[in-house]
Structures are given as structure tokens and as C-alpha cells.
Amino acid sequence: MVAPEVQGIDLFKIANRSISGWVPSFKMGSAAAPVKLPFCSQLEERLLLWLEYHPLVVNYARGDIDAQFATKYRLPIPQHAPFTIGYTFEDRSHHYLPDVVGMLAGGQPFIAEAGMEDDKRGDRNLAKAEAARRLARLQEGVFWIGTERTLTKRRSFNLVFLHARRKTFPAFADIAPALQEVWPWGDVASVEEVASRLSHQFPADLVEAAIWKVVADAAAAGHLLLDLEQFTLSRTLPLALLHPSAPVLVPSPLPDTLEPPPDREPMAGVSCAPVALIPGPTFDASRLAEPQREQFHRNLRAVEQVLAGAKQAQVAKDAGIPRPTLSRLVKRTKSLGRIACVPYGSYTRKTTMHPAFQECIRRLYVLPTKLSMTAIHEHTEMQQVATRLTSETGKPVKLPSYAQVRKEVQRLKMEPELVAMREGAKSVPRERESAESFALSIPAPALLTQVDEHTMDLYVVTPSGETVASRVHAAVLVCVKTATILGAVLALGPLKEEDYMRLVKVSLERKEQLVGITGCEHAWPCFGFNHITTKWGETRLVAAFS
């Protein structure tokens, strides 16, 4: 596989492209002295970070470096470097150098490529990929292709955020043991909350730096209980770290081909994954007028396409929306939800009414007597506020007009909490929310579960020969985020406390073992690390199910 006439990269370029930057690899070096690996594009940088935080990747290096380059920059090189792969294109023999080669935990070699999907679908690049795929299969290894679709921006941003905080510092050795005591394995907490638990022992900046380093090391080891594809890391995001002895959480593998399946028509399958990328409450567009409703759906479609990875300029052109307007819509939708796509639905105009009058109207509106607008406008408390403001400012302050009071009351009617207090409701009604939005708002699998109970008309005979006349109750414990069945039980009556405990017990057992014991005809595709943790008197199930 070594071609002596093939030269590797020179000191400043890779495949005739200038080096854009370097990724420090703690996997190939150490926390104190990481090894720098070069990249020429953002997708190559994403691929290197993806490999750096893949728990099954033991080592990796560029496949197109030679001894001169490696000596200059003190880089690791593959055993056969440059790692040349031969392929045939247009009836001629060629060779090329892959981006990255390395070894997996099971001793399997791998070859990885990164590039734009349109470029990788070119005839020459397809021939290169086929040759690399064939070589990987001959060596009982794997071949990966990373594109802008599979190496997502959100995951890359999260990995860059963690990678910048992995380097060790002198005080980390003192803070780490104390951090383990206040943040045990499986405990779900935000960085802000954990930092507050140690604020009295160490400086706040060092504590937060130590927390992020622990989180980054756990992510590299496959023990961070968080989907980096769905959530952006922040100080307030709930996180959980699994025990070092727990099975590793492996990210979804990169594909080995971009070609469509031969002689098969694309079929629209049913997917359980949420198609929307906008978390938060949904919006009922049926109450809008026809022109506003059409504009809302147009804005929503454009925002969803941009959040899904489409180019903003092309989406703006297709939807007929000015590019600055679409950019502003995307930012406001991320912070406010779907209401930002409603024309004038999230914009408010500042009132000229004094805040003291607003507070008085708010207080009078929630009174149990349910005052009318006229009663609020003519109430003696409004006159007392005007008198007080006149004495404080030294200038005469007029009472708000009836129109101002009416607008303020109409604004208060849009707040569900205040309406519930005025009507004397027992609880505040929740906003209408789609199943997709609610599932996206859950930080991780198995943090929220529900029990579904049903009855079945079965003829049950006990081993002793007695007939059970009562209905059989069947119950399943379901993960709300992933719709995975974690456990299932049968009871000869309504569920009791012991039946719920049996559900929790089944959810903790290995599903392949249960399938074998009970003789199920089908597999139970549910696996992950799980245990029970008790915090402040509350029992909670922490798991990583898929």
C-alpha cells in the first residue's frame, strides 16, 4: 500500500490547500501537552473533533502527512505514511491520500473523509470513496464520510466549547475531589447550581473551570448524559455524568456511502424523530385572518428550513423574504418560539402611562370583585396615586384616560396567570403545546416518564387450576422524550404501589435477558445505563435509553 513516488503534504499545505488551523488532541497527547493536528476546512475540523470525542476511537492521525511534515510539527503519523489508496477512474489508475486514519477500541482500523456533500457526490470522489470502502472491508475495518449534513454545526459548537475547557490547571487537583462529593454520578444539575455548592470553598471562576473540564472529560469518555445534537451547552442546562464503569454512550456513526440504494425507489417512512427544531409552546394559527395565517406559515417554513441547515440566502430568495428580515426572524424564533413568526404577534409598543398607574390597574384588575373598566378608571386608588405622584414630582399629574385604562386591561387579559387569579381558578392553565415542542424541551431521555394502563379481557387460569374472573390490567413505563417502552407489567386488578415498583424494576433490567426468559417472539430494542438515585427525598430514574 506504500507508493514511494507519492509525496505527502508540504510544510504549509495539505493537498495543495493552505492549512486553516490546528486542533489540539488530548487523545493523542495529554491534558498538559496535547498534540496539534492540522485541518484545511471547517468540515475537517468538525471531523477531528468528532473523532476526538468518540469514546471508541483509540487513536487517529492524518493519512496524508510524511516524515518531513511530522518531524517539523512533532505529529504522529500512520504506520504506512503517506497512507495511499489506489483507485480506477476513467480506465486509468490513480491514488489519493485520505484525510484521517486510525484505530478503534476493538482493534479495527478506520478511514475517515470530510467534505461538502455536493463535492463528495462527484464521479471522481465516488470512485475514491469506493476504493477506501473496499480497503476498509478487506482490513475488517470501517469507512466514514462526514459532510455538512452529518457533522452538524450544533454538535461542533458544543465540542469546541468543551474542547477549549479541557486543559488542566494547578487548582484542578484540589477542586476535583470536592466536586465529586457535591455532584455524584447520575445527579442531574446545571453548572450554575453545582458551582453554587462549592462557592464557599474555592474561587468561583476556578470552580466553574473545573466543572467544565469534568464535563468535557466525561463527554470524551462517552459518559455525558446529553444529546449534543439537540441542545446547546450553557451554565443553566441540566447535565448528568455517568459512572466511569458504565457502558459508553456512542454517537450515531457517520455513513460509509452517499450513493442512493441501487434499483430502489425512495420510500417515505414513518419517523418518530421530531421534524421541528423550534422548542417551546406552539401557536394556533386558526384564529388568525387568512392573509396573516398565510404569512405566518410562510415565515415558519422559512425559519424551520434555516434551522435544519439550509442556506439562509437561498431560503430567503425562495420564500420572498428579505434576507435581513429572515435573519431577524430566526433569532427571535429561537428566543420567543413560534409566536415570533406571527405578523406583529411578539412586538409591543411602550406605553406612556406611569408605572405607578400600571401597578394600580393590575392590582384592581385581580380583585375578587371583578371590577369593570369604568370602575377601575374611576376608583379612588387611581386618584390617590395621582395625588402622590403630584406631591413627589412637584408637577400636576393627570389621571389616565379611559382609553388608556382599556388598553392596559386588554393587555392584562392576555396574561393567563392574571386571568386565572381574577376568575379564582385553582391552577394556571398551561399554554397549548405540540408533542414535538414538549419532547424537544426535555433535556435528556428518561428524565420524564409516564405510566400507561389498559385493561384486557383475558381468560386466566392459575397454576393451581383456579380461574381468575377479574380483568387483567397491563401497564407500561414509557419515556416521554423517545417513546421507548422501559418496562411492562401485568396485574389482576387496578395498579397498586407494588406494581409501580415492579415497573421500575423491569426498567432497570437487561431487555435481552427478559426477552430470553419470557420467550418473546420479537426483540426489545431498549438499552442504556440506568440506576436509581435519591436526591432531597425525591426518587428519580436516571437513564440513557434509546
Read off φ and ψ for residue 136, nearest 5 degrees: -65, -40
Task: Determine if the peptide bond prior to 177 is cis (ω within 30°).
Answer: no
Selected residue with higher pLDDT from 121 and 439: 121
Tell me if 488 sits within 8 A of 456, measured CB to CB.
no
Between 47-51, 167-171, 467-471, 520-524, the lowest mean confidence (pLDDT) is in 467-471
Helix, strand, coil percentages for the chain (3-state, nearest 5): 40, 15, 45
Confidence band for 490, pLDDT divided at 50, 70 and 90: confident
Are 531 and 508 in contact, with CB atoms under 8 Å apart? yes
Q: Which residue has the cell 455513513?
A: 255
Residue 282, number of CB atoms within 10 A of its CB: 18
For residue 25, give the C-alpha cell.
488532541
Average pLDDT estimate for 289-313? 87
**DSSP string across 50-119:** HHHT-TTEEEEEESS--HHHHHHHT----SSSS--EEEEETTEEEEE--SEEEEETTS-EEEEEE--HHH
Nearest to 282 by CA among 451, 432, 492, 60: 432
The number of CA neighbours under 13 Å toward the Cβ of 153 is 6
Q: Is 499 exposed, middle or buried (0-12, 13-18, 19+ CB in 10 A)?
A: middle
- What DSSP string describes 336-404? H-GGGGSTTSS--PPP-S-HHHHHHHHHHHTSTT---HHHHHT-HHHHHHHHHHHHHHSS--PPPPHHH
What does the pLDDT read at residue 331? Answer: 87
Question: 290-307 vs 323-336: helix axis angle to the nearest 10?
Answer: 90
Helices 355-365 and 380-393 cross at an angle (nearest 10°) of 160
Q: Helix (H, G, I), strand (E, B), or coil: what is residue 474?
A: strand
Question: Which of 14-18, 357-361, 522-526 is predicted with the least confidence, judged by mean pLDDT?
Answer: 14-18
For 277-287, what is the mean pLDDT? 69
pLDDT of residue 261: 41
How confident is the model over 307-316, as pLDDT tens digits? 888 888 889 9
* More confident position, 7 or 435: 435
259 vs 131: which has the higher pLDDT: 131
pLDDT at 118: 84
Which residue's entry shows cell 468535557?
A: 216
Segment 407-434 mean pLDDT: 76
Looking at the domain 13-151, which fold is it? Trna Endonuclease; Chain: A, domain 1 (3.40.1350)
Q: What is the pLDDT of residues 100-154, one digit of tens each?
A: 888 898 888 899 999 888 888 888 888 888 888 888 888 888 999 999 888 988 9
Q: What angle do CA 287, 289, 291 make, to 5 degrees?
A: 140
Phi, psi of 204 (to 5 degrees): -65, -40
Find, among 237, 273, 236, the residue nearest to 228 by Cα. Answer: 237
Could you give the percent of the chain with pLDDT greater than 70? 83
Give me the mean pLDDT over the 422-443 stretch. Answer: 71
Say whether pLDDT at 80 is over 60. no
Chain mean position to CA 240? 14
Across the chain, what does the average pLDDT equal?
Answer: 80
pLDDT value of residue 449: 87
What is the longest distance spanned by two Cα atoms in the chain? 97
Residue 410 burial (CB < 10 Å; 0-12/13-18/19+)?
exposed
Distance of alpha carbon 26 from the chain centroid: 24
- The residue behind cell 409552546 is 281
Which pLDDT does position 519 carry in this prediction?
74
Beta bridge partners of 467: 461
Cα–Cα distance measured from residue 315 to residue 277, given in angstroms and rounded to the nearest whole number:
16
